[in-house]
Amino acid sequence: MTSIVISSQKGGVGKTTVSINLAFAFARAGWKVLLVDADPQGSVGLSLTRQSRKLLGFFDYLSDDECSLKSLVVPTRMETFSMIPSGQGEGYELGGGYSESVAAKVQSFIDDAEQAGFDLVIFDSAAGLFGITRDVLVCADAALVPQQAEPLGIRSVPKMLQGLTDLRKLNPKLKILGVLLTMVQRNLAESAEAADALKELLPEALVMKEEIARNDLFLKASGKGVPVGVLQGADEFLANFNGLRLEIESKLGLKRDNA
C-alpha cells in the first residue's frame, strides 16, 4: 500500500480539490482508494458528504484508542473509492511541533488501512508543515505540492520544498513527487509567466508535467459534492488527473497488486 500527502505551505492553492480529483482518478483506474481528510477544517468531508459534520473521522482515531479505522470508512457510489472525514476529535494542537506519539498513531492508521485492503491512501492536509500535517508527512510515502500559478505564490515554493527535504531526516522514505501547478490561466500573462517562472526555478524532476487550469467547473463540482470529472464538459480535467495518476505511478514505480 502507498500513502500520499497533498501538502502546501500556502492555503487556498487547491489541495482539497486535487486530493478529491486525484483520488477519483486512481479509483477509476481500479485502485482501492481511501481519501482521508487530515485537515481540521474538514473540507473533503464538506465537499463530498453532507452529513460530515456529524461523522467520526481521522481526528477521532488519533484521540480515541477504541476507535477503529473500519468504523470510520464512508463508502461512495464508486466501489473502489472510500473516504474518512476529519471527524469530531478536538484538542489536537494545530500549531504544535512534531510529536512522536501522534506520529505513532498516524502510522497505526496507515497500517490499519493496509490491513483493511486499501491500495492507496491520499491525505488532504492543512496548509503548512507543522502540527498534524507534519505528523502525517513523517509517516507517508510521498508528498505532492499543489501551487497556484500566481506571481507571489511561487516564491514560497523553494522554501516549501526545502522544508519537505528537511523532513526526510525524520522519514527517509518520503518521496517528493513535485509541484503541481493549479488554477493556471494560460490566457492571462501574469499566470502564464508565473507558471513558466516556476518551471525555470526548479529542476525538471520537481515539476509535474500535468497542470490544472482554472475553470468554474471546479466550483460547480464542489457545490454539488462530486469530483469535477463527473460533470458534463469536464473531459479535459478527467484526462488531466488521469495523466497525473500515471506520472505518480511512474515516479513511485507503482503497480496495483491485483493489476
Ligand X SMILES: Nc1ncnc2c1ncn2[C@@H]1O[C@H](COP(=O)(O)OP(=O)(O)OP(=O)(O)O)[C@@H](O)[C@H]1O
* Complex with ligand X: residue 222 or 242, whichever CB lies closer: 222
Grid cell listed for 175: 518521496
Nearest 5°: the CA angle 242, 224, 62 is 75
Binding string to ligand X for residues 105 to 134, with x set by CB under 6 A, is what? ----------------------x-------
Residue with Cβ nearer ligand X (214 or 251): 214
Site for ligand X in 214-233 (CB under 6 A): 214-215, 218-219, 222
- Cβ at position 212, least distance to ligand X in Å: 5
Which partner from the list Mg ion, ligand X, none does 12 bind, CB cut-off 5 to 8 Å by kind? ligand X
- Quote the crossing angle between the two packed helices 157-167 and 189-201, to the nearest 10°: 40
How is residue 99 written as a grid cell?
A: 510529536
Binding status of residue 43 toward Mg ion by CB under 5 A: yes
Number of residues binding to ligand X, judged by CB under 6 A = 19
Q: 135 or 150: whose CB is closer to ligand X?
A: 150
Query: Tell me, what amino acid is at 142?
Result: A
Print the binding letters for residues 39-78 with ligand X: x by CB under 6 A, - otherwise.
x-x-x-----------------------------------
- Secondary structure, 3-state, 174-188: CEEEEEEEECECCCC
**By CB under 6 A, residue 16 contacts ligand X:** yes
Residue 215: which region, alpha, beta or left (left: phi > 0; alpha: psi -120 to 50)? beta
Residues 175-214 within binding reach of ligand X (CB under 6 A): 182-183, 212, 214
Residue 17, contacted partner among Mg ion, ligand X, none, CB below 5-8 A by kind: ligand X
Question: Which 8-state DSSP code applies to residue 110?
Answer: H
Four-residue CA torsion sign, 137, 146, 15, 28: negative
Distance CA(84)–CA(64), nearest Å, equals: 15
**Closer Cβ to ligand X, 23 or 254, answer by number:** 23
Binding-site residue total for Mg ion (CB under 5 A)?
3
Q: Of 9, 15, 86, 194, which one interacts with ligand X (CB under 6 A)?
A: 15
Asked if 215 and 242 count as a contact pair (C-beta separation under 8 A), the reply is no
Report the residue number, 15 or 28, with the smaller CB distance to Mg ion: 15
Tell me, what DSSP letter sits at residue 196? H
Which one of 2, 7, 8, 16 is in contact with Mg ion (CB under 5 A)?
16
Instruction: Pick what 81 binds: Mg ion, ligand X, none; C-beta below 5 to 8 Å, kind-dependent.
Output: none
Among candidate residues 17, 72, 80, the one with its CA nearest the CA of residue 48: 17
Closest CA to 72 of 107, 40, 90, 45: 45
Using an 8 Å Cβ cutoff, are 213 and 14 in contact?
no
Binding residues for Mg ion, rule: CB under 5 A, are 15-16, 43
Binding residues for ligand X, rule: CB under 6 A, are 11-17, 39, 41, 43, 127, 182-183, 212, 214-215, 218-219, 222
